[in-house]
Amino acid sequence: MRKILSVLGVLFLFACGNSVEKQQEVWELKKTTVNEYSMKYPYLVESINTQFAKATEIMDNAIQTTDEKEQIKLMKEANASATKGAIDKVSDLEKVIESVGYDIRNIKDDFTSEEFTKKTTFLLEDANNCIDKADFLLQNSYNSADSALMLFKKECSKLKKVERSLENHYREVVNNRPDETVDETTIQTNSSDSKTKNSSKKEAVLKCKKCGAKLEKGATKCKNCGAPVK
């Protein structure tokens, strides 16, 4: 639910944010996000509330402003400020954990047994260990929000490096896949004045590196997934 609300908030801000009503809707979503993160991470409550108080002061000034353009400007500033600091840092770590988890699943689902090399195994083990550590850090208790956020920032940077390694390895393996596969097709030719002849014909079939769909001769991109043909 939190992710849905965050996405809606972004859409309102950038796609439909040039009205007082829309900014007010975003503000309500921001308040919901603040409450959810305060409940989920109690050791960050003080830091979250301090930041939200600053945003609330800006929003109060916006409400009292009579000029509509200035009012919208201040409301946007308040909405941007509401989740700065603690929530943004925690959210960044949550997002990269989810992203690395997706990369792990993608490799496991897409790689063949031959493509599962020692390097693949090492990268996946390292990624899983980093995710476990990040989850532990998020669920731990801290005496200071600053010390927690410092650890989150450091772990977020490490996970982003892991993510890049996984993505580079995935591209490397996919790009090294053969461009051609040979299909054996048995063709039967029946003739009234001769006996039945069986023969085998080899056809070179180009397939998309990304989705495996058959490519037409001279195609510049895959009709199935749109990937460019090298």
Distance of alpha carbon 205 from alpha carbon 219, whole angstroms: 12
Place 187 in a pLDDT band, splitting at 50, 70 and 90. Answer: very low
End position of a domain, from candidates 84, 104, 138:
84
Distance of alpha carbon 230 from alpha carbon 213, whole angstroms: 15
What pTM was estimated for this model as a whole? 0.66
Residue 198 has pLDDT above 90, yes or no: no
Distance of alpha carbon 183 from alpha carbon 31, whole angstroms: 60
Distance of alpha carbon 144 from alpha carbon 149, whole angstroms: 9
**20 & 76 share domain:** yes
Partners of residue 214 on adjacent β-strands: 207
Count of domains observed in the chain: 3
Does residue 33 contact residue 87 with C-beta atoms inside 8 Å? yes
Residue 200 has pLDDT above 50, yes or no: no
End position of a domain, from candidates 141, 159, 175:
175
Q: Residue 226's pLDDT is what?
A: 67
Least confident of 75-79, 180-184, 219-223: 180-184
Spell out the SS3 assignment of the chain.
CHHHHHHHHHHHHHCCCCCHHHHHHHHHHHHHHHHHHHHHCHHHHHHHHHHHHHHHHHHHHHHHCCCHHHHHHHHHHHHHHHCCCHHHHHHHHHHHHHHHHHHHHHHHHHCCCCCCCHHHHHHHHHHHHHHHHHHHHHHCCCCCHHHHHHHHHHHHHHHHHHHHHHHHHHHHHHHCCCCEEEEEEEEEECCCCCCCEEEEEEEEEEECCCCCCECCCCCCECCCCCCECC
Distance of alpha carbon 216 from alpha carbon 82, whole angstroms: 53
- The span from the first CA to the last CA of the chain, in angstroms, equals 41
End position of a domain, from candidates 50, 84, 118:
84
The mean per-residue pLDDT over the stretch 121-138 comes to 96
**167 & 193 share domain:** no
Amino acid letter at 22?
A: K
**164 & 211 share domain:** no
Q: Residue 209's pLDDT is what?
A: 65
Distance of alpha carbon 33 from alpha carbon 91, whole angstroms: 11
User: Residues, the chain, total?
Assistant: 230
The residue range of the domain holding 219 is: 180-230
Residue 195 has pLDDT above 70, yes or no: no
Residues whose CB is less than 8 angstroms from the CB of residue 7 and which lie 6 or more positions away in sequence, other chains included: none
Report the percentage of the chain scoring pLDDT > 70. 75
**141 & 211 share domain:** no
**139 & 154 share domain:** yes
**186 & 220 share domain:** yes
Place 17 in a pLDDT band, splitting at 50, 70 and 90. Answer: low
